[in-house]
Amino acid sequence: MAIRCFKPTHSQVQSSKSGSRLVFSSKQIEMFRQMAQETRQSVLAAENRKLAFSSAGVLAWFSGSSGTGKTMAAEVIARELRTSLYRVNLNQIVSKYIGETEKNLARVFEIAQKKGTVLLFDEADALFGKRSEVKDAHDRYANREVSYVLSKIEAYRGLVILTTNRKVDLDQNVACRVKYMLEFSPPIPSPLSQPRR
Does some domain include residue 196?
A: no
3-state class (DSSP) for residue 121: strand
pLDDT (tens place) for every residue of the chain, 197 residues total: 444 545 545 555 555 555 557 778 788 888 888 889 988 888 777 677 665 545 667 889 888 888 888 898 999 899 999 999 999 887 778 777 777 888 888 999 999 988 989 999 988 877 776 545 555 555 555 567 777 888 888 888 889 999 988 776 677 777 788 888 888 887 776 555 455 55
- Integer Cα distance of 89 and 120 in angstroms: 8
Does some domain include residue 178?
A: yes
Does some domain include residue 194?
A: no
Structural domain tally of the chain? 1
Does some domain include residue 4?
A: no
Does some domain include residue 195?
A: no
Question: Taking CA 48 as the corner, what is the angle to CA 43 and CA 52, rounded to the nearest 5 degrees?
Answer: 70
- Integer Cα distance of 107 and 113 in angstroms: 10
- CATH number, domain containing residue 65: 3.40.50.300
Quote the pLDDT of residue 186.
Answer: 79
Does some domain include residue 156?
A: yes
Does some domain include residue 1?
A: no
Quote the pLDDT of residue 119.
Answer: 94
Does some domain include residue 153?
A: yes
Quote the pLDDT of residue 50.
Answer: 61
- Integer Cα distance of 133 and 65 in angstroms: 28
Range of the domain at 21: 9-189
Quote the pLDDT of residue 2.
Answer: 45
In this structure, what DSSP letter does residue 165 have? Answer: S
| Predicted model pTM | 0.79
- Integer Cα distance of 58 and 36 in angstroms: 9
